[in-house]
Amino acid sequence: MTRFTKLAGAVSGLAIMLGATWAQAEVLFWSTQARPVEEAQAMRDNVLKGFEGGVDYQPNEDGPWLTRLQAELEAGSGSIGVLGGLHGSFSAMNPDDLVDLDDLGVVSSSETYNTLAKLGTDHLQYVPWMQASYIMAANKQALQYLPAGADINALSYDQLIEWTANVEAATGEKKFGFPAGEKGLKHRFFQGYLYPSYTNGVVRTFASDEAVVAWEKFRELWSHTNPASTNFANMQEQLLNGDAWIVFDHTSRLAQAFNERPDDFVAFPAPAGPKGRGFMPVLVGMAIPRTAPDLDAAKALVSYMLKPETQIATLKATNFFPVVNVELPADVPPAVKAAGDAVAIMSASPDANPGLLPAGLGDKGGDFSRVYVDTFERIILAGQDIRSVLDDQKAVLAKIMQDSGAPCWAPDAPSEGACPVE
């Protein structure tokens, strides 16, 4: 070995050591949210920069996110400081693995969210971080085909079906877009929108006669839906390329369309069925794993994230709305404005029938959603008989509820013990 290579080796070794100690000082924020590169960068530059001590913001797919967390928990020591994830990700965990956060003194301004964040225990397991919802959006070219007398801010499912049929008749193309792809959030549509609107329930009414009607209506809507929907996951793409004119999706999965061409699209509330206008929030939280290397720094970061100015910066970076009361500034991006208005109209509508996120399912959250996705695939894609599919899937759902012992949540009527499938 020459003197030069020896020297180079020593220098790089030193650099690695320094790098390691430098990384130690920052809090590792291990998140499943704000994954797109622009959003992650905006989180680092505009949201987390103000935190003293520095933050290493690392967004990841759910799989790797969970794998590393589980490895650290099993090893009993780790480097993750703060976890960011959906309510569903946290509810699938063992609450003992998360540090109780009651003494932080920061909570969201929604009692419902704070209760959800206890994950069925007596203590706060995560702190609500930001929220969103699912809404409808349309290309302005589609507005001329609205059925006569229909108010876009108070549509019914029948009017939506008629509207999509009109569009198909006029353009010769099926222009309704539905996120039915592998990564699409279709299950939330069934759990939070279709079922509450038609049956005023999600679990109890799973195989009711009203549910049969709901699926018949959805089948009708599907007949005017772009058949490529089984590959769609972020409806903003299809809005922008014109493959779909009327779509349903998560607010942050529509944002790009509004931000790129704010004058071309409108956002509006989800439609209503016989039992009201069902809709569902999306709740994102922050938790601290019991293996966090620096508990104080992690707690300080969680508190920092709930400050009003951080919440507004987060809104601008991710299009997710604050969970604390803040005055929205005038310069919010177009997508935030459009989605915010639609959500406000939706929740203030006289027939609003808000649902809650599934709670108490523990590690059965994935199985629960699979019941609805399977039902969709069998009834709509495979064209099987609605009644027999529902009766078949009902047994699977009943077993999940029995195994997890989860009580009913709104809009289902409360239950003693596990929520029954009637």
Partner 1 sequence: MSPRYLPYILILPVTLFLCAFFLYPFLLVARQAFLSDGGYSLQNFRETMGYWKFSISLQNTMLLALAVVPVQVSLALLMATMVSRMKKGRDLVLYIWTIPLGISDLAAGIIWFAIFEQSGFLNSMLTGLGVIDKPAVLLGYQNPLLVFIAIALAEIWRATAIMLVILVAGIGLIPKEYYEAAEVFGASPWQRFLRITLPLLRPSLQTALILRVVLAFEVFAVVVALGGTLFPVMMGQIYSYQFDLQNAGGAAALALVVLAISIAFTLVILRALRVPKGATI
Q: Is 385 in the site for partner 1 (CB under 8 A)?
A: no
- State how far the Cα of 343 lies from the Cα of 255, in Å rounded to an integer: 14
Q: Is 56 in the site for partner 1 (CB under 8 A)?
A: no
Nearest to 126 by CA among 281, 311, 323: 323
**Out of 35, 261, 290, 370, the residue judged to bind partner 1 by CB under 8 A:** 370
Binding residues for partner 1 restricted to 240-269, rule: CB under 8 A: 241, 243
Residue nearer to partner 1 on the CB measure, 264 or 403: 403
Which of the ranges 123-131, 190-198, 373-381, 405-413 carries the binding residues for partner 1, by CB under 8 A? Answer: 373-381
Contact 235, 250 (CB under 8 A): no
- State how far the Cα of 142 lies from the Cα of 174, in Å rounded to an integer: 12
Q: Is 110 in the site for partner 1 (CB under 8 A)?
A: no
Q: Is 231 in the site for partner 1 (CB under 8 A)?
A: yes
Binding residues for partner 1 restricted to 74-103, rule: CB under 8 A: 92
Q: Is 363 in the site for partner 1 (CB under 8 A)?
A: yes
CB of 182 to partner 1, least distance (A): 4
Residue nearer to partner 1 on the CB measure, 114 or 230: 230
Q: Is 331 in the site for partner 1 (CB under 8 A)?
A: no
**Out of 45, 62, 151, 309, the residue judged to bind partner 1 by CB under 8 A:** 62
Residue nearer to partner 1 on the CB measure, 349 or 384: 384
Which of the ranges 58-66, 100-108, 156-164, 288-296 carries the binding residues for partner 1, by CB under 8 A? Answer: 58-66
**Out of 110, 114, 223, 230, the residue judged to bind partner 1 by CB under 8 A:** 230
Question: Distance of CA 107 to CAs 111, 179, 190, 303, 393, Å?
Answer: 9, 32, 30, 9, 38
Instruction: Please give the full DSSP string across 89-146, using - where no structure is assigned.
Output: HHHTS-GGGB---GGG----S-HHHHHHTTTTSSS--SEEEEEEEEEEEEEGGGGGGS
Q: Is 66 in the site for partner 1 (CB under 8 A)?
A: yes
Which of the ranges 114-122, 206-214, 349-357, 360-368 carries the binding residues for partner 1, by CB under 8 A? Answer: 360-368
Residues in binding contact with partner 1, number by CB under 8 A: 26
Residue nearer to partner 1 on the CB measure, 11 or 381: 381
CB of 346 to partner 1, least distance (A): 28
Residue with structure tokens 């309704």? 176
Binding residues for partner 1 restricted to 170-229, rule: CB under 8 A: 172-173, 180-182, 226-228
**Out of 106, 326, 374, 407, the residue judged to bind partner 1 by CB under 8 A:** 374
* Residues 6+ away with beta carbon under 8 Å from 311: 130, 305, 322, 323, 324, 326
CB of 363 to partner 1, least distance (A): 6
Sign of CA dihedral 130, 135, 138, 144: negative
* Residues 6+ away with beta carbon under 8 Å from 34: 40, 42, 43, 57, 59, 317, 318
Phi and psi for 79 in degrees, rounded to 5?
A: -120, -5
Residue with structure tokens 């989800």? 270
**Out of 4, 21, 52, 63, the residue judged to bind partner 1 by CB under 8 A:** 63
* Residues 6+ away with beta carbon under 8 Å from 187: 369, 370, 372, 373, 376
Phi and psi for 212 in degrees, rounded to 5?
A: -60, -45
Sign of CA dihedral 248, 252, 257, 262: positive
Sign of CA dihedral 201, 405, 373, 113: positive
Q: Given the rule CB under 8 A, which residues bind partner 1?
A: 62-63, 66, 92, 172-173, 180-182, 226-228, 230-231, 241, 243, 363, 365-367, 369-370, 373-374, 377, 381
